[in-house]
Structure 1
Amino acid sequence: MNHKDLEVWKKAMDLVEQIYLLTSTFPSSEMYGLTNQLRRAAVSIPSNIAEGSARKGDKELLYFINMATGSLAEIETQLLIGVRLKYIKEQNEIFDKIIEVRKMLLGFRNYINRKS
């Protein structure tokens, strides 16, 4: 399975781009804090999807899909911290993208579980 053909991977790549754009507006004092954490967590989502897709079996793929889902929860938490610190607005469209990617990851996980 080529990860670049997966819609969930494509949406995760879009999320990475949005995270980078958003964090570029954070204060420079956050460069090694929240900005770095958000970017690393965002990059890990499509990276885990890609790595899982390159593995041999569904069990390994599920492991990496679960890792990607965990990174997405990490991003959501860190963005909510950004809201509390008033770096971003709570109505930011990025929260909609997180919901979209989460639904796709869970759907992909359910699909893999059903076919196994």
Structure 2
Amino acid sequence: MSFKFEKLRIWQMSMDFAEEIYKISEAFPKTENYNLTSQIRRAVDSIALNIAEGSILQSLPENKKFLGYSIRSLAEVVTCLYKAEKRQYIDSKCFKNNYDQAYLLMNMMISYRSKIK
């Protein structure tokens, strides 16, 4: 037995993505604990949380609304990645790998949202 969201590929990917972001943010300077580190972690966790919450709703507009929250949270994570690279907390390879993962996840979420009936 499982919850509906556990079967969703976008939920599974967002869970893995969150763990990766958490790992890289551990290396951010301690001065960022209450700023960029906290922000990127809250945003990345919000992706899977909103996918899960939206998936249990019976209302189509509500489900799409929560997917929209997930998409916006993902955009926030990407912006934090840009900031981390500019501040030299991550290198360009780390940025590109995570950016590419975010781009794939974004496209999958948008596609899933458009197919919900």
Whether the 8 Å contact between 1:80 and 1:90 is mirrored in structure 2 is no
Structure 1 residue 96 corresponds to structure 2 residue 100: yes
Q: Secondary structure at the match of 2:93?
A: coil
CA distance in 1, matches of 2:35, 2:64: 30
The list of structure 1 runs, each at least 4 consecutive aligned residues, that deviate by more than 2 angstroms after superposition, is: none
| Partner residue of 1:31 out of 26, 30, 33 | 33
Partner AA of 1:104 in structure 2 = M
Unaligned runs of 5+ in 1: none
Q: What is the TM-score when the length of structure 1 is the normalising length? A: 0.93
Q: Which residue of 2 is the match for residue 105 of structure 1?
A: 109
Whether the 8 Å contact between 1:26 and 1:87 is mirrored in structure 2 is yes
Deviates more, 1:62-71 or 1:52-61: 52-61
Q: Which residue of 2 is the match for residue 87 of structure 1?
A: 89
Deviates more, 1:44-53 or 1:97-106: 97-106
Q: Would you say how many aligned residue pairs link Structure 1 and Structure 2?
A: 113
Q: Which aligned pairs between 1:57-96 and structure 2 lie closer than 5 A?
A: 57-92=59-94, 93-96=97-100
Partner AA of 1:94 in structure 2 = N
Q: Secondary structure at the match of 2:89?
A: coil
RMSD of aligned residue pairs (Cα, Å): 1.0
CA distance in 1, matches of 2:89, 2:24: 9
Identity of aligned residues (%): 35
Structure 1 residue 16 corresponds to structure 2 residue 15: no
Partner AA of 1:14 in structure 2 = D
Q: What is the TM-score when the length of structure 2 is the normalising length? A: 0.92
